Amino acid sequence: MELSNKVSVITGGVGGIGRAMAKAFLAEGAKTVVLADLNEDAVNAAASEIGCDGMACDVTDQRQVADLVARTTSVHGPIDLFCSNAGAIGHGVLTDAADDEWQRLWELHVMSHLYAARAVLPSMIARGEGYLLNTASAAGLLAAIGSGPYTVTKAAAVKLAEFLAITHGDDGIRVSVLCPQGVNTAMAPRSLGDGQTDGIIEADDLAKTVVEALRQERFHVLPHPEVETYVRRKGDDIDRWLTGMRRLRRQSMQT
């Protein structure tokens, strides 16, 4: 997909990744970008700074997501690209992660993508074209040792993106899933010492990778290219990979 003259929506738009993607899309000649986020004042301020539109939306509320799509379409025309980007860091492993933490991240990292697809796909399918970009994480392809709710819900986000690509690819719908490691935002890991990331990159650099991946219509968007190697190793020998991850967990607990 070339972004020139396209209408895009980006949820989680106030944060570093969403804001950087909006700027990158506009630089590519996008017709308009609509930022969406929880806080109306914050999203309007961000949109004003960037030079696009802003709308308040709780992406865990299906009615609000549907309204976001309807309002965007009414003002700007059909949505060409919907970036379901909102997310949050998670805490706890299994026994120490409360049920409401699991549910919170399930709704934010999985159901929000589903709500977006439900809202935007009918018009895209009717036109025979459209693009979904869902933000997951390298943790969804691999693992984040310190957070069960985060890892599991991000893995589900990857699987949902795969399912959408399989189910609607013949309808002219393209799907990509963004799977970064550490990015210099409020959600970035504070330490690189436990081996769980190959470096913290800037959001603007991530956005450049996104633009190129959309142009090539690649499913995996990997701002940290090392992740592709890790995924291949995991697929080649899952037992060896699990042994290595247990070793990494032990090392992490000792630091």
- What is the pLDDT, as a whole number, of residue 255? 60
Q: What is the mean pLDDT of the chain?
A: 92
- Rounded to an integer, what distance in angstroms lies between the CA atom of residue 11 and that of residue 18? 7
Indicate the SS3 state at residue 125.
helix
The yes-or-no answer on residue 230 being catalytic is: no
More confident residue, 89 or 176: 176
- What is the pLDDT, as a whole number, of residue 249? 85
Residue 193 has pLDDT above 50, yes or no: no
Confidence of residue 147 (pLDDT cuts 50, 70, 90): confident
Q: Would you state the CATH architecture of domain 7-226?
A: 3-Layer(aba) Sandwich (3.40)
Q: With beta carbons less than 8 A apart as the criterion, state whether 6 and 78 touch.
A: no
- What is the pLDDT, as a whole number, of residue 250? 86
- What is the pLDDT, as a whole number, of residue 91? 78
Tell me the whole-structure pTM to 2 decimals. 0.92
- What is the pLDDT, as a whole number, of residue 36? 98
Helix 203-216, helix 16-27: angle, nearest 10: 50
Copy the structure tokens of residue 218.
Answer: 């690649």
**Per-residue model confidence as pLDDT tens digits over 80-118:** 999 999 999 887 777 777 899 999 999 999 999 999 999
- What is the pLDDT, as a whole number, of residue 254? 75
Average pLDDT over residues 14-40: 96
Ranges 90-94, 206-210, 249-253, most confident: 206-210
- What is the pLDDT, as a whole number, of residue 248? 87
Residue 188 has pLDDT above 70, yes or no: no
Output the furthest CA–CA distance in the chain (Å, rounded). Answer: 55
- Rounded to an integer, what distance in angstroms lies between the CA atom of residue 125 and that of residue 16? 31
- What is the pLDDT, as a whole number, of residue 187? 55
Average pLDDT over residues 138-165: 94
More confident residue, 182 or 155: 155
Which residue is associated with the tokens 């990015």? 183
Distance of CA 14 to CAs 11, 34, 38, 46, 236, Å?
8, 11, 9, 6, 39
How many residues belong to the chain? 255
Residue 66 has pLDDT above 60, yes or no: yes
User: Distance between alpha carbon 230 and the CA centroid of its chain, in Å?
Assistant: 20
Q: Which of 22, 5, 2 is nearest to 207 (CA)?
A: 22
Residue 194 has pLDDT above 60, yes or no: no
**Per-residue model confidence as pLDDT tens digits over 30-57:** 999 999 999 999 999 999 999 999 999 9
Element (H, E) at 203: helix 203-216
Copy the structure tokens of residue 164.
Answer: 């959408």
